[in-house]
Amino acid sequence: MTTTAQCLSAYKGRSVLITGGLGFIGSNLARKLVEIGDVEVSIIDALVPDQGGNLFNIEDIKSRVKVQIADMGDDYVINHLVGGVDYIFNLAGNVSHLESMLRPQHDLELNCAAQLTLLEACRNFNPYVKIVFTSTRQVYGKPIYLPVDEQHRVMPVDINGIHKLAAENYHQLYHRVYGLRAVCLRLTNTYGPRQLVRHNRQGFIGWFIRQTLDGGVIELFGEGRQRRDMNYVDDVVEALLLAGASESAEGEIFNLGGTPVSLSALAGELVSLTGRGSISPVPFPLERQLIDIGNAYSSYQKIKTALGWSPHTPLAQGLAHTVEFYERNRTHYWEPDANTVRRSNAAAPGD
Amino acid sequence: MTTTAQCLSAYKGRSVLITGGLGFIGSNLARKLVEIGDVEVSIIDALVPDQGGNLFNIEDIKSRVKVQIADMGDDYVINHLVGGVDYIFNLAGNVSHLESMLRPQHDLELNCAAQLTLLEACRNFNPYVKIVFTSTRQVYGKPIYLPVDEQHRVMPVDINGIHKLAAENYHQLYHRVYGLRAVCLRLTNTYGPRQLVRHNRQGFIGWFIRQTLDGGVIELFGEGRQRRDMNYVDDVVEALLLAGASESAEGEIFNLGGTPVSLSALAGELVSLTGRGSISPVPFPLERQLIDIGNAYSSYQKIKTALGWSPHTPLAQGLAHTVEFYERNRTHYWEPDANTVRRSNAAAPGD
């Protein structure tokens, strides 16, 4: 795309910090920036267990990125790291909805306290830096109309959503009050290579893929009738880069989004793509149902109009790339011995 | 009022915990509960400096309330205190908008982390307790229409507002997910006896009163044209008691509110009431202007319809009571030696 090509040149000769850069989306972004060439890429990631950070995600580009394993909430570290960078892609955070209900204070540390530390560091030591913050469609809660646009009322249905909303508010506040050049993207379900698939607490797509490749059973709560939209990670990376390169995006909130698909259709697609796995409807577990949001998909009209972004990877193609990746790199994303670890294998439809 | 009389009987023979109970509103509530009689009143208050907690506020009822000086974020203390109580009036929190911008992490501790500690304690050790949480009109941010009702979009303009909104969301979430019997009130400017008047970071009314009684100058930013509504503390205490006694209020958010008055009219009223002090317009300081919200007043139609609450203390009468209180108890609310402490004496219009 012309738009993207123009935007990519904005990063040439620049310095970029990615928080949570060893995770799923962060590492795909880092790879893209390395591919552009002449971009100084730094990563901070705490490798919080079960959050998706994985050194293998950057194994083949590790000589071309600087990695700091540290907590973003540590102001000594972050005050130093933000100095002199041109762009911050702020992807660090707790991403599990269910875990946030079990350990709310931990979620508060990762999604609020650490965000304040980063923003205070920018305000004090790099007030002209551009910041792209990844939030989540989850802040809207149970949709009252579909597709959900940016005017939809926010009503988070779990602790994670409350804290992501607070972190969005921080970014918007620091923009209004201190002129910090921050933009927020509300991501929908993202899938693709390098996503954590070891457990089912980080979105249903990775877990469905995992179950299929293991020849297991995809358990669908409520028969999988919920319809969700999904973005392939390369499309999300493109949106991040477009938002970072655009001055007019500063202070704005943009949805990403795509064509809605039912969970049962997604599962069917995966089973037919791989020729493995099977599908089984199961009753909705109470703790999931309480934070489930039913059908949910977003309008991406605002970012399409403002920045020219649309998702352009067809689901079948994105899934094929993803499956191929995990087949090739299975050992780095499965448990050391998957057979000895038994977990509930139904997906998290709240995601 | 009949409504109130009926509601007050709900508290007879019951046990009530007030968080932040040594503060302005909390101590007035404690006094009212003691006056009802046959109510077991406990208070937890950390006496965080400059937040308004003051042991003198309960001096003459101290033999009739149990006081624990402790941080609500300390789970050992709070787990113990919530056990067996019937009502929690949850008033603890950081209340300064300006201070929240200077020390955002401190505000996060007081207004988010400690609230999660309380709610987790209730969920685990007293899931049937009734909780009345005091939030603030400030969560609406700069009004897009007036008066602001509960459907008005929320867009906090400072860190304090972001965190109070998160704490509201916690209460609503714990209601929806765990059935906790929580109700939120969004208070407007409250004034009356026992408010902190030592500095100007806790609302303009107390500070105006203080300046008048000192024969000082009330400095009005932007000539004091901003119109705000104000509730006398006895009316706020009545709303708290009504909300606590009502089953149908659970899960709801209610504005308080009243008749809007310009800051210059309020200042004029005080000068004429006391025959002291003077008024001077001054330029708007930048750090205040950045978080100021202009005209702001709330519709209290929802709580009027649902619970029969209206503010019934006329401003002149409320101010007269307040002035009389501080004249009588000046030594407990002024600095030890006011003349040696010089501060900027303009009020915080963001409140």
Contact B38, B7 (CB under 8 A): no
- Tokens 């973005």 found at: A231
Residues of A in contact with B155 (CB under 8 A): 169, 172
In this prediction, residue A337 carries a pLDDT of 55
Residues of B in contact with A176 (CB under 8 A): 157, 290
Higher pLDDT, B272 or A97: B272
- pLDDT, one tens digit per residue, over A205-251 is 888 999 999 999 999 988 888 999 999 999 999 999 999 999 999 99
Is residue B304 in a domain?
no
Rg, Å, chain B Cα set: 19
DSSP state of A307: H
Listing DSSP states for A149-188 in one string gives -TTSPP--SSHHHHHHHHHHHHHHHHHHHH--EEEEEEE-
Q: Which domain holds residue B118?
A: 2-191+230-255
Neighbours of A220 (CB within 10 A): 24
In this prediction, residue B14 carries a pLDDT of 97
Between A116, A153, A158, which is nearest B105 by CB?
Answer: A116
* Nearest-Cα residue of chain A relative to residue B157: A173
Neighbours of B330 (CB within 10 A): 14
- Quick check: B104 contacting A, CB < 8 Å? yes
User: Distance (Å) from the C-alpha of residue A81 to the closest C-alpha of chain B?
Assistant: 20
In this prediction, residue A286 carries a pLDDT of 80
Higher pLDDT, B129 or B197: B129
ipTM: 0.90
* Nearest-Cα residue of chain A relative to residue B289: A177
Contact check, Cβ <8 Å, B153/A153:
yes
Q: Where are the beta strands (DSSP E) in A103-150?
A: 130-136
The domain total for chain A is 1
In this prediction, residue B337 carries a pLDDT of 55
Query: CA–CA separation, B312 vs B98, rounded Å?
Result: 31
- Quick check: B173 contacting A, CB < 8 Å? yes
Between B105, B156, B169, which is nearest A162 by CB?
Answer: B169
User: Distance (Å) from the C-alpha of residue B177 to the closest C-alpha of chain A?
Assistant: 6
Confidence of residue A197 (pLDDT cuts 50, 70, 90): confident
Average pLDDT of the residues in A333-347: 54
The torsion angles phi and psi of B278, rounded to 5 degrees, stand at -145, 170
- Quick check: A293 contacting B, CB < 8 Å? no
Average pLDDT of the residues in B299-323: 97
- pLDDT, one tens digit per residue, over A142-155 is 999 999 999 999 99
DSSP alpha helix (H) spans, chain B: 2-9, 24-36, 75-82, 97-102, 104-108, 114-125, 159-178, 204-213, 233-245, 263-274, 286-289, 301-307, 315-329
Most confident of A27-41, A211-225, B194-208: A27-41
Contact check, Cβ <8 Å, B173/A165:
no
Is residue A246 in a domain?
yes
3-state secondary structure of A249: coil
- pLDDT, one tens digit per residue, over A118-175 is 999 999 999 999 999 999 999 999 999 999 999 999 999 999 999 999 999 999 999 9
Confidence of residue B116 (pLDDT cuts 50, 70, 90): very high
Listed in sequence order, the residues at least 6 apart from A269 whose beta carbon sits closer than 8 Å to its beta carbon are A261, A315, A316, A319
Q: Which pair of tokens denotes residue B206?
A: 């107390």
Among A81, A69, A89, A27, CA closest to A52? A27
In this prediction, residue A351 carries a pLDDT of 47
In this prediction, residue B5 carries a pLDDT of 75
Is the entire prediction scored with pTM above 0.90?
yes
- Quick check: B139 contacting A, CB < 8 Å? no
- Quick check: B170 contacting A, CB < 8 Å? yes
Residues of A in contact with B157 (CB under 8 A): 173, 176
Q: Which pair of tokens denotes residue B327?
A: 């004249």
Average pLDDT of the residues in B22-50: 96
Residue A84, CA distances (Å) to A87, A125, A249, A304, B242 in order:
9, 8, 22, 31, 55
Is residue A95 in a domain?
yes
Is residue B276 in a domain?
no
In this prediction, residue A8 carries a pLDDT of 87
Is residue B10 in a domain?
yes
Contact check, Cβ <8 Å, B290/A177:
yes
Confidence of residue A4 (pLDDT cuts 50, 70, 90): confident
Q: Helix B315-329 crosses helix B204-213 at what angle (to 10 degrees)?
A: 60
- Quick check: A105 contacting B, CB < 8 Å? yes
Average pLDDT of the residues in B222-227: 87
Average pLDDT of the residues in B57-69: 97
- Quick check: A117 contacting B, CB < 8 Å? yes
In this prediction, residue B292 carries a pLDDT of 75
**β-bridge mates for residue A18, sequence order:** A43, A89
Confidence of residue A98 (pLDDT cuts 50, 70, 90): confident
Query: CA–CA separation, A241 vs A11, rounded Å?
Result: 9
Confidence of residue A341 (pLDDT cuts 50, 70, 90): very low
Among the residue ranges A161-175, A194-208, B71-85, the one predicted with the least confidence is A194-208
Beta pairing, strands B261-262 & B227-228: antiparallel
Is residue A19 in a domain?
yes
In this prediction, residue B344 carries a pLDDT of 41
- pLDDT, one tens digit per residue, over A252-298 is 999 999 999 999 999 999 999 999 999 999 988 887 777 677 899 99
Q: Which pair of tokens denotes residue B213?
A: 């009684």
CATH of residue A116's domain is 3.40.50.720
Q: Which pair of tokens denotes residue A228?
A: 């969700």
- pLDDT, one tens digit per residue, over B314-346 is 999 999 999 999 999 999 998 765 444 444 444
End-to-end CA distance of chain B: 30
Average pLDDT of the residues in B302-325: 97
Peptide bond preceding B314 in cis form (omega within 30 of 0): no
User: Distance (Å) from the C-alpha of residue B235 to the closest C-alpha of chain A?
Assistant: 30
Is residue B142 in a domain?
yes
**β-bridge mates for residue A205, sequence order:** none
The torsion angles phi and psi of A214, rounded to 5 degrees, stand at -85, 0
**Buried b or exposed e, range B230-248, using 16+ CB within 10 angstroms:** bbbbbbbbbbbbbbbbbee
Contact check, Cβ <8 Å, A112/B165:
no
